Chains A and B, each alone.
Chain A
């Protein structure tokens, strides 16, 4: 699983990465994290509000920092379909 955190380094991006890492640990997933900070790359995902969460090139969330539980709920179906 490839997880991208989209954002130019604002506090929200740091918070998003933190809750996502927690959710990944909670679900016991094997995931690599990547930071996307260039505006052109961020915009190419169609995101207009940072931060954004992209998993395996699919945009899951943008514009707000979710709770750990919400991230886990977003990730869970992807794990089920992958296995």
Chain B
């Protein structure tokens, strides 16, 4: 073994030991969280656990730490896993796939492919220019933001595995069916012509080739920092509002207006969700508090989906490649899917 190899092996061992230590600290912090705030809020500060102030303050600090830990852990793991996947590989897998099978694959790949909506336009051109059908491309573009790691981390932490799987399943179905419908109406008529004229030149490189474990871990750390830096204000406002609703809102305030008895609750939830684009972080603590107050799960899932999947800035970006007719159809199809999910779950889970 050369000196260089020995040094390399040493730092590799250190890296895995470091990862294991970080995981142990994470688990310990997650387990101790509730005891820490029980002690600090109720024993040290002397607030009454049954009082509105006591339960609200406890809810705020406990939830902030819990959600922060979940986001850190899940974003890191997801980023490292996704570093084995790339948009280039996804496109190669989707090339030449028929509609149907292609839509199912595209929705699934939308979940596992590292992708941000800021790349929606170059990815759209890249897919279409390589011969991936419009409907299949749309399934990818719907699934990718809808089933994202922030939403999954928060759902898992606040509602548990059941509602999380429900959300992921429903999101995939909306993406698959939505893409098939857009393919069926021959949406390619409404794509800006330059997309089809784009010729791919040169050799396409796979951006993940040559990544080492050290690179992947660094990407994970950077992603955690960059996402948390972006969303923490929304998160704290959301948890604060959640704590206020939790402690102070009258029990029947929300169920009276948006309960299972009101057939318009789902469409109103979707309409309210659209302007809150991409702020899953701020919305989910609110959703949890509203759920505690008795709002039905279907209405809340529809609200969440509208928040993450119908994003105004993404539509404005996509206008560069899609004509207004297609943008409108896209929004209508996705909104219809979300409404169906809301009504269905309200009926099934009631």
Contact A48 B198 (CB under 8 A): no
Chain B residue with Cβ nearest A39: B121
Number of A-B contacts (CB under 8 A): 73
The reply on B350 being an interface residue by CB < 8 A is: no
From B86, B91, B202, contact of A45 by CB (8 A): B202
Contact A63 B126 (CB under 8 A): no
The reply on A77 being an interface residue by CB < 8 A is: no
From B122, B125, B201, B321, contact of A49 by CB (8 A): B122
The reply on A20 being an interface residue by CB < 8 A is: no
From B87, B122, B219, contact of A39 by CB (8 A): B122
The reply on B88 being an interface residue by CB < 8 A is: yes
A45 and B219 in contact, given A39-B122, A39-B321 (Cβ under 8 angstroms): no
From B123, B198, B205, B219, contact of A64 by CB (8 A): B219
Chain A nearest CB: distance from B206 CB in Å? 9
Contact A39 B320 (CB under 8 A): yes
The reply on A72 being an interface residue by CB < 8 A is: no
Which residues of chain A from 53 to 68 have a CB within 8 Å of any chain B CB? 57-64
Residues on the A chain within 8 Å of B202, using CB: 45-46, 57-59
Chain B nearest CB: distance from A48 CB in Å? 4
Chain A residue with Cβ nearest B223: A64
Contact A59 B203 (CB under 8 A): yes
Central interface residue in A12, A48, A64, by most chain B CB within 10 Å: A48
The reply on B207 being an interface residue by CB < 8 A is: yes
The reply on A40 being an interface residue by CB < 8 A is: yes
The reply on A47 being an interface residue by CB < 8 A is: yes
Contact A44 B119 (CB under 8 A): no
Contact B91 A48 (CB under 8 A): yes
Contact B119 A50 (CB under 8 A): yes
In the bound complex, how far is the Cα of B115 from the Cα of A83, in angstroms? 38
A contacts, CB < 8 Å to B: 8, 10, 12, 39-40, 42-50, 57-64
Pairs A–B under 8 Å by Cβ, sample size 22? A8-B121, A10-B118, A39-B122, A39-B125, A40-B195, A40-B198, A43-B126, A43-B129, A43-B198, A44-B198, A44-B200, A46-B200, A46-B202, A46-B203, A48-B88, A48-B126, A49-B114, A59-B205, A61-B207, A62-B207, A64-B207, A64-B219
